[in-house]
Amino acid sequence: MSKTNPGNFFEDFQLGREIVHATPRTLTTGDVALYTALTGGRFALASSDEFARALGFPAAPVDDLLAFHVVFGKTVPDVSLNAVANLGYADGRFGAPVYPGDTLRTVSTVIGLKENSNRQTGVVYVRSTGTNQRGEMVVEYVRWVMVRKRDKDSPAPAEVVPDLPRAVSADRLVAPPFESWDATLAGSPHLWDDYQPGERIDHVDGMTIEEAEHAMATRLYQNTAKVHFNQHTEKEGRFGRRLIYGGHIISLARALSFNGLGSAVKLAAINGGRHVAPTFAGDTIYAWSEVLERMEIPGRADVGGLRLRTVALKDEPAGGFAFKDERGEHHPAVVLDFDYTVLMPRRAKTHG
């Protein structure tokens, strides 16, 4: 009997199955420094203990997406080791802030299954929850993955596609305190009150992805997906080279969004998302964002929610706001279409 893990194929998933993922991870200041080096994130809350304390946090929390990637990475050996593609995200929420020294673990539940018409693959829907050492939810989300079948002739399970919300409602957002705000130190004078639905923001800057960086980032998250690491096998694959982990593109787009959304210091929700096209080392990523909705958080006058769509492009400056054509097809440069909610201070409660 083999002692190695071949990963789960589509036939191995059953509706309602709970998967406790291995390898809990204690995050350190070293992880934070490396994540900053790989993404260039500049949001003040995750950068400065003193800025965080002024807001009411005990110290600077770990960047929300670093926590997300670590929680996500735990799931890969069990959920997507044999995946063809990660298809989308929905109903994601960020909970308790994560600090260096916290230990994260992940549990997933299978909530949907659908065999594809080619009978060679199927789509698996899972809800994954990351918790800290006190059992507090730090991030939870649904994702769906196209997974290979071991045997194309194996019988298909009953089709179940979960009904997922279009967006996380304001009353489900977890909003920590925003006691005092220094706009100068945050790097932006623009607050929640200054953004309007329909507004589009060109984040201007571009970031070229280096081969070593994307591999190092994926290893940082302990993401074991084969397509990101093994050029020996991927040279015979569909693209002839290694793919960049889609989550790294999310992080780069988020880092680029600082120019125009510098006060959006905390992620609150992932409403939906799609990796539209693959990216490779050497591609230069640009990003633009559209304000979809301005959300008041019940009982909170100090902070509001801003629902955004951020679109990442490769080798295409964002000033033209490339997105979809009249047929609804994405522009060839689009690699990410990401719908999420950020927290931003409101003008009535700010200082500085």
Q: Could you list the pLDDT tens digit for every one of the 352 residues in the chain?
A: 788 988 899 999 999 999 999 999 999 999 999 999 999 999 999 999 999 999 999 999 999 999 999 999 999 999 988 888 888 999 999 999 999 999 999 999 999 999 999 999 999 999 999 999 999 999 999 999 999 999 999 998 899 999 999 999 999 999 998 889 999 999 999 999 999 999 999 999 999 999 999 999 999 999 888 788 888 888 888 888 888 999 999 999 999 999 999 999 999 999 999 999 999 999 999 999 999 999 999 999 999 999 999 999 999 999 999 999 989 999 999 999 999 999 999 987 544 4
Contacts 24+ apart (CB under 8 A), 222-229: 222/23, 222/25, 222/70, 222/73, 222/74, 223/69, 223/72, 223/73, 223/76, 223/247, 224/73, 224/76, 224/77, 224/81, 225/76, 225/80, 225/81, 225/83, 226/81
Q: Which pLDDT belongs to residue 351?
A: 45
Q: In terms of CATH, what superfamily is 10-151+170-349?
A: Hotdog Thioesterase (3.10.129.10)
Q: Where are the domains of the chain?
A: 10-151+170-349
CA distances from 240 to 7, 147, 258, 345 (A): 23, 20, 34, 46
Report which of 254, 259, 242 is spatially closest to residue 38, judged by C-alpha positions. Answer: 254
DSSP string, 138-192: EEEEEEEEEEE-S-TTSPPPPPB-----SS--GGG---------BHHHHT----G
- pLDDT, residue 352, reads 45
- pLDDT recorded at residue 268: 98
The Cα–Cα gap between 50 and 31 comes to: 20
Bridge partners of 179, per DSSP, are none
Specify the pLDDT at position 228: 85
In the prediction, which pLDDT does 224 show? 84
